[in-house]
Amino acid sequence: MNIQEQIKKYIDSLPEPKHSDIEVLHKHIPKLLPKCKLWFLDGKDDKGKIVSNPNIGYGLQTIKYADGKTKEFYQIGISANTTGISVYIMGIGDKKYLPETYGKTIGKASVTGYCIKFKTLKDINIDTLEAAIRDGVEQTK
């Protein structure tokens, strides 16, 4: 199964309104990030144990670890969680940046150093989410 098929299967498995909201985000993010690399992480480790929620990822960055090793990873990720949806903006160095820059204007959402979590898309300002996504990608180029 290719990445597009895995993503479709994942989205189709979600209950409403998560299904529709994730589908909207999945159609919208590639328009913000044309030609971005597409990822799908099923949430399982090498041994098949579930370690996280499945994630759809967009973009490409190289993460550098303290020991000098590097790993390619996505810049933006989306995932359904128990209460709604998480949008991950990976690689921003300053963990106060997202909450200080977008926390007050995003709407009804929790904003941490790399994650914007909300119940449904109607609870947030989509323009602010787009700005945060663009900003995060710009910072990890």
How confident is the model over 47-104, as pLDDT tens digits?
A: 999 999 999 999 999 988 889 999 999 999 999 999 999 999 998 989 999 999 999 9
Instruction: Scan for tokens 């989509």, then name that residue.
Output: 126
- Mean pLDDT to the nearest integer, 107-130: 97
Q: What percentage of residues in the chain have a pLDDT greater than 90?
A: 89
Q: Is the pLDDT of residue 141 over 90?
A: no
Q: What is the pLDDT of residues 20-31, one digit of tens each?
A: 999 999 999 999
Q: What is the pLDDT of residue 95?
A: 94
